Structures are given as structure tokens and as C-alpha cells.
């Protein structure tokens, strides 16, 4: 019978003991990982190290296991030394699968750099950050990670608290939605408050308007922003002959009482005001209680709130029937006046033509008479012509012929003056015209011994016809010299000044002067008040016509025995 060598037996027994120890170690590690025993297994460079929990730590472990947040203990290489059940649930993995694994395996690749920076700050003291972690199903869940370094059996470990942010973000979204709804509700509430305030303001305004409008003499009314009547004062119901609630509403409506010829334009104007907010004003005829249409002036203004929105319209109707009829009478009178003016214009044209024709036709007979008078002087003996009865008669005949010729010439000038009305004027140098007229009158000035003082600034101009201006100046200066007082030397003063829109030309003399009665007739045609001076009495009439045709006027101040002052107002 053979026996086994001793070495082999020892090796077999030693192998069996090692197998038994290995199984016990595996069971211990499994128990620690599953939480069946109070110890921690940590893999190190020297092999697995077992950390048992002291009895005083049992309460803390129980607290951590009951937390709703995940709890971890990490080694320096981020190996999970410990995690609670909540952490495993958050990752959707069995607790045994999380314990002893590398935490980096739960961090998505895109966030690992950020995780490394948080981890580095955590080993330096404290750290916190938001980090997505991947569940076993592959879903990414947002977490808040908080870290702090602890000493565990004299070995440093990183304690990590992991909080699920999904619910918090849902709560944040819900809160945002609630806040948005609350904002909308607040806005709606503010709108309702504004509408209520506007309504109250409108009611107060309507009440105040009603109180004030009852006291005025016009028909007064108010409407809302849409043009619907909210108030009519007592004057309206007096006008239509009804009580406030008598009959149907259409019978009290102003629209139904408009004159058919005015309805379309009036309603269109009212609608335009409603659309634009512009003031309403219209003249229309409205039927009263007796069935008669009377002219009314309708006016209305929009009343607005602080935002510029129309809240009501306040309007009146004023009876202008008599005024309208008066305007129609005035218009009728103006048409008649225009017709009369046109007729007078035609008469003036006919008169001008008659004057021109008469003066032209009278020239031939008067020329014949003058020729016969000269022939008679040739035929009569010289002795007979120079006798006392014949010479005065011949002189009177010649004088009559000359006056007749001058009258015909002046009538022609009057006709020409009428035709020249409306011819454009130009600025004429007044001082130059005065100088030329004075030279023409120099013989008369020398003969009468008169002094003529001219006080007109050089360069003074008037807007007038140059020919007519010369005629005006000549007539006034020559009259001042001709109608001098024989008891004193004549003195004539010529001045010019500016007065508002006129240049005033003045000629003052110390001649015979006129009484009040004569002064009123001075500018009439063929008016003469001093027979000792030759003249036809038509010169001042023509002066007045020329000045008035140019938009000016002439005035005179005269006193009998003292002198006269003529003031000519040239319009500029």
C-alpha cells in the first residue's frame, strides 16, 4: 500500500483553507455591498480594506438611508465607497451595482470635464454644481451635487449629496406658468378697474353735464362714444312738443326730424365726427312740434379720458332760423345790388360813349361858329368892329366859343378818365412832378407875387399814374394861386408825409376859402363858387375821380376868408 508524499498533502490542505477563506471573503464583501453588515470595503493599492461601522455611527447611517437625497462617499479616484438606497433609485440601478463602482461611469461624456472640475474643487474644500447623470435606462436626469471632505477611519473621503432637480424644474415651470396666469389676471383686473373707473367718470360727467345743460337756452344733448343719445334737455322736448317718455323713441329722434334735403349731408357729417373725433358743426332744418322746419346750428365736442379715448359727446342745437332768413334777404339784396351795379356800369359805358360822341360831334359846329365869327370880323369894317356896341358883343361871342371848346375838351377828359380806371399804376417820384408843375406855373407865380414853399423829401414816391399825378398836382397848385385873396400876398405850402398805408400830399393856401355849405359841393361836376376866376368847375371833380379810382381819397379843410388845405391820400 502506497502513501501520498507529505508535501502534496500539505499543499492540498493549504489549498482547501485558502478556498474556504476566499469564499468567506467573497461572502463578506457581498454582505458589505448589500448592506447586510456594518462595514465598508475599499479597494486600495494594498488590496481591499475593510472599514467597519462603530455602534455610534449606526444612527447616522439610519438617517442617511432615510434621506430623499442621494448620499455618497467617494475615494480619491472617485470610487463609490458607499451610497444610500435613494442614490441607487435615482440612478435606476441596484444598490450592489453602484457600490464599489467608478462614479465617472454615471456621468455622460459631454459633462465629464465639468465633473472633474467640481471634483477637484470638492477635494480642496467644498464644491457645488449642477450635473446630469445617466440612469440605467440611458435617460439623463439633472442633479445638484454638493461635496465636502470628511475623515473616515483616519482616511480622507469625499462626502457627496445628490439632489434631483427634475421636480424642482417642474415646480419652477409651474410657478412660471402660475406667475404668467397671475400677470394676465392682474392685467385683466386692472382693465376691469379702468373700465369701471371710466364708467363712473362717464356717469359723473353725464350727470354734471345734465345739470349744467338744463340751465342753458339752447337745445342740449349728450351721446356715448358710439353716438347713441344718453341725454336731452328740456328745451328739446319743448321744441318737439312732447314729454320725455311720450310716444315712441323714433318720434323723439333728431334723425327722423331732419329736413329731407339736409338729411344725407348732416348724417354724413355726424358720422365723420364719430369716426375721427373732430368737432361736429352743421346747419340743418329740424321739424318742430307744429310740423314746421326751422334752421338749427348744430355743434358738438368730444369729451375724452386721460388716455385720449372719447367717452361722450356734448352738443347743442341753436335756433338760427331768423338769422338764416335775414342772410337770405341780404343775399337777395346783394344779388339785386350786383344787378344794379351791372346796369349802372352799362349806363356809365353808354354815358361815356354819349359824352365822347357828343363832344366829338359838337366840335364841328363850334369850329364852324368860330370860323364864321372870324369871317364876320374880316367882313366888318374896322371902324364898326371897334365901336362900343359891336366890340363887347364880339368879345363875348369869342369868350363863349372858347369856354364851349374847353368844356368839350374837359368832357372828353372825363370820358377818358372813366376808361383809364383799372390801368396798372407805378411808383412815381412826387418831388420831380412837383418841380415840373411849379416850372409850368412860374408865370402865374411871378404875376401874383406868391411864395410857394415845398417841404417834400427827395425820393418820395407814390403808386399812381404819372400823367394823372401831374394833373392832380397842377389842379391843386393852380387853384391855390387862382383863388387868392386880393387883400394879401398868396402863400402856398406843399407837404408830404406817411400815414399808415397812405402817402399824404398836402397843399395849404391863404386864399379866399369856402364856407361849410360850399365845402360839401366842392368836388361836384361843374361846381364853381368864385365867378371872378375863369374855370368850368370840373377840375376838382376829375382830381377826386382819379384818386378814388386808384384806391385813395381826398379831403379838404377850408375857412372863408382864411384859406384852404387839400389832403390827398395815395394808397400804397
Which DSSP letter does residue 308 get?
S
Task: Read off the pLDDT band of 250 (50, 70, 90).
Answer: low
| pLDDT score of 205 | 67
Q: According to the per-residue pLDDT averaged within each range, which of 380-384, 392-396, 501-505, 544-548 is highest?
A: 501-505
Residues 273, 307 contacting (CB under 8 angstroms)? no
Q: According to the per-residue pLDDT averaged within each range, which of 65-79, 92-106, 212-226 is highest?
A: 92-106
Helix (H) or strand (E) holding 204: helix 166-213
Which DSSP letter does residue 77 get?
T
Residue owning grid cell 376691469 = 192
Tell me the C-alpha to C-alpha distance, in Å, between residue 317 and each of 216, 235, 242: 11, 10, 17
| pLDDT score of 407 | 66
Q: Does residue 340 surpass a pLDDT of 70? A: yes
Q: What are phi and psi of 499, to 5 degrees?
A: -135, 105
Q: Per-residue pLDDT tens for 181-194?
A: 778 878 888 888 88
SS3 175: helix
Q: Answer with the residue of higher pLDDT: 53 or 548.
A: 548
Tell me how far apart the alpha carbons of residues 368 and 371 are, in angstroms, rounded to a whole number. 5
Mean pLDDT of 196-209: 72
Mean pLDDT of 507-532: 65
| pLDDT score of 2 | 46
Which DSSP letter does residue 165 get?
-
Q: Per-residue pLDDT tens for 17-36?
A: 777 766 665 665 555 555 45
Q: Does residue 357 surpass a pLDDT of 50? A: yes
Tell me how far apart the alpha carbons of residues 480 and 508 are, in angstroms, rounded to a whole number. 8
Mean per-residue pLDDT of the chain: 79
Task: Read off the pLDDT band of 1 (50, 70, 90).
Answer: very low
Q: Answer with the residue of higher pLDDT: 479 or 422.
A: 479
> DSSP per residue over 488-516, as a string?
S--EEEEEEEEETTEEEEEEEE-S----H
> DSSP per residue over 83-127, as a string?
E-HHHHHHHTS-HHHHTTSBGGGGS-GGGHHHHHHHHHHHHHSEE
| pLDDT score of 297 | 94
Q: Per-residue pLDDT tens for 259-269?
A: 999 999 999 99
Residues with Cβ within 8 Å of residue 62, at least 6 apart in sequence = none
Residues found in the chain: 572
Helix (H) or strand (E) holding 280: strand 280-287
Residues 148, 74 contacting (CB under 8 angstroms)? no
Q: What percent of the chain has pLDDT over 90?
A: 18
Task: Read off the pLDDT band of 63 (50, 70, 90).
Answer: low
Question: What is the bridge-based pairing of β-strands 451-455 and 491-499?
Answer: parallel
Q: Does residue 202 surpass a pLDDT of 80? A: no
Amino acid at each position: 500500500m502506497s502513501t501520498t508524499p507529505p508535501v502534496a498533502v500539505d499543499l492540498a490542505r493549504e489549498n482547501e483553507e485558502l478556498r474556504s477563506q476566499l469564499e468567506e471573503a467573497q461572502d463578506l464583501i457581498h454582505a458589505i455591498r448589500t448592506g447586510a453588515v456594518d462595514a465598508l470595503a475599499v479597494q486600495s493599492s494594498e488590496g481591499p480594506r475593510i472599514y467597519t461601522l462603530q455602534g455610534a455611527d449606526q444612527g447616522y447611517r439610519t438617517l442617511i438611508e432615510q434621506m430623499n437625497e442621494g448620499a455618497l462617499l467617494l475615494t480619491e479616484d472617485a470610487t463609490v465607497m458607499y451610497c444610500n438606497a435613494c442614490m441607487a433609485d435615482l440612478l435606476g440601478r441596484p444598490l450592489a451595482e453602484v457600490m464599489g463602482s467608478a462614479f465617472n461611469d454615471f456621468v455622460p461624456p459631454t459633462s465629464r470635464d465639468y465633473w472633474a472640475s467640481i471634483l477637484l474643487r470638492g477635494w480642496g474644500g467644498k464644491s457645488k454644481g449642477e450635473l446630469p447623470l445617466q440612469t440605467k435606462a440611458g435617460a439623463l436626469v439633472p442633479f445638484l451635487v454638493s461635496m465636502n471632505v470628511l475623515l473616515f477611519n483616519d482616511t480622507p473621503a469625499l462626502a457627496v449629496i445628490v439632489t434631483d432637480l427634475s421636480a424642482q424644474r417642474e415646480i419652477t415651470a409651474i410657478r412660471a406658468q402660475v406667475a404668467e396666469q397671475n400677470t394676465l389676471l392682474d392685467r385683466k383686473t386692472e382693465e376691469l378697474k379702468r373700465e369701471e373707473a371710466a364708467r363712473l367718470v362717464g356717469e359723473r360727467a353725464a350727470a354734471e353735464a345734465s345739470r349744467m345743460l338744463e340751465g342753458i337756452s339752447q337745445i342740449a344733448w349728450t351721446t356715448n362714444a358710439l353716438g347713441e343719445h344718453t341725454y336731452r334737455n328740456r328745451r328739446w322736448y319743448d321744441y318737439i312738443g312732447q314729454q320725455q317718455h311720450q310716444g315712441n323713441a323714433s318720434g323723439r329722434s333728431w334723425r327722423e326730424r331732419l329736413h329731407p334735403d339736409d338729411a344725407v349731408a348732416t348724417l354724413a357729417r355726424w358720422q365723420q365726427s364719430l369716426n375721427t373725433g373732430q368737432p361736429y358743426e352743421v346747419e340743418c332744418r329740424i321739424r318742430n312740434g307744429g310740423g314746421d322746419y326751422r334752421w338749427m346750428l348744430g355743434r358738438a365736442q368730444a369729451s375724452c379720458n386721460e388716455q385720449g379715448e372719447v367717452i361722450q359727446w356734448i352738443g347743442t342745437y341753436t335756433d338760427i332760423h331768423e338769422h338764416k332768413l335775414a342772410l337770405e334777404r341780404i343775399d337777395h339784396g346783394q344779388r339785386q345790388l350786383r344787378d344794379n351795379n351791372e346796369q349802372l356800369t352799362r349806363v356809365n359805358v353808354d354815358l361815356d360813349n354819349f359824352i365822347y360822341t357828343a363832344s366829338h360831334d359838337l366840335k364841328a359846329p363850334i369850329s364852324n361858329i368860330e370860323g364864321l365869327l372870324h369871317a364876320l370880323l374880316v367882313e366888318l369894317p374896322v371902324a364898326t368892329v371897334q365901336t362900343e356896341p359891336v366890340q363887347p358883343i364880339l368879345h363875348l361871342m369869342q369868350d363863349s366859343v372858347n369856354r364851349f371848346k374847353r368844356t368839350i375838351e374837359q368832357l372828353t377828359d372825363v370820358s377818358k378818365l372813366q376808361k383809364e380806371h383799372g390801368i396798372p399804376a407805378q411808383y412815381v417820384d412826387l418831388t420831380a412832378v412837383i418841380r415840373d408843375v411849379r416850372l409850368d406855373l412860374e408865370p402865374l407865380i411871378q404875376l401874383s407875387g406868391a411864395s410857394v414853399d415845398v417841404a417834400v423829401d427827395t425820393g418820395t414816391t407814390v403808386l399812381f399814374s404819372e400823367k394823372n399825378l401831374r394833373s392832380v398836382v397842377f389842379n391843386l397848385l393852380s387853384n391855390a394861386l387862382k383863388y387868392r385873396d386880393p387883400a394879401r400876398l398868396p402863400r402856398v405850402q406843399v407837404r408830404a408825409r406817411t400815414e399808415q398805408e397812405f402817402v399824404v400830399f398836402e397843399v395849404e393856401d391863404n386864399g379866399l376859402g369856402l364856407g361849410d355849405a360850399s365845402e360839401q359841393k366842392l368836388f361836384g361836376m361843374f361846381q364853381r363858387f368864385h365867378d371872378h376866376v375863369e374855370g368850368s368847375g370840373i377840375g376838382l371833380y376829375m382830381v377826386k375821380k382819379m384818386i378814388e379810382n386808384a384806391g385813395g381819397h381826398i379831403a379838404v379843410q377850408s375857412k372863408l376868408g382864411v384859406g384852404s388845405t387839400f389832403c390827398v391820400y395815395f394808397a400804397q
